[in-house]
Amino acid sequence: MDKGTILFHRALEFKNGETGKKLLIILNTPQSSEPFLCCKTTSKQKYGLDKEGCYSSKNIYVLNPAKNCFPDKTWVQFHEIYEFNNHSFLQAHFKKDLDIKGKLPINIINAIVKCVRNSDDVLKYHLSLLR
């Protein structure tokens, strides 16, 4: 798995402690022991934003529907970035909690990563992992 991979996690533990189903996008391709950085997506409109593109001040990237990626308009949310290591991904996969759903085209994932880099809310550590 690498940058741009779309995952479906059936038992994602959210930052508030609750667990649920969520589509995630991998933002980086880790080297050695670095974590995978992922952001959540939603099909529910956020902040009244509807036009495709970057809204780094709101920590949102809006994606229009795309074949083999997201069938509906999607809001990529990066106000919370989730870290995973290989072991946690493997565990989730063997528990049948994690599936690979597709991969974003390189130009789209690069635009999302650029948007994340422009946010004032992303940790410097996470920015250092976004090559």
The rounded distance, in Å, linking the Cα atoms of 91 and 70 is 25
Q: What is the pLDDT averaged over residues 1-20?
A: 90
pLDDT bucket at 22, cuts 50 / 70 / 90 = very high
Task: Identify any residues that bridge with 83 across adjacent strands, giving them in sequence order.
Answer: 37
What would the mean pLDDT of 13-24 be, rounded to a whole number?
A: 89
Burial track 80-90 (b if 16+ CB lie within 10 A, e otherwise): ebbebeeeebe
User: Is pLDDT at 68 greater than 80 in this prediction?
Assistant: no
CA distances from 71 to 1, 27, 59 (A): 21, 20, 22
| Alpha-carbon gap, residue 109 to 115, rounded angstroms | 10
Q: How far apart, in whole angstroms, are the C-alpha atoms of residue 122 and residue 115?
A: 11
> For 69-106, how does the pLDDT look when each residue is reduced to its tens digit (9 = 90+)?
888 999 999 999 999 998 888 888 888 999 999 999 99
For the chain, give the mean pLDDT. 92
Query: Is the pTM for the entire model greater than 0.85?
Result: yes
Residues 6+ apart with CB under 8 A from 30: 36, 129
With a cut of 80, say whether residue 39 has pLDDT above it: yes
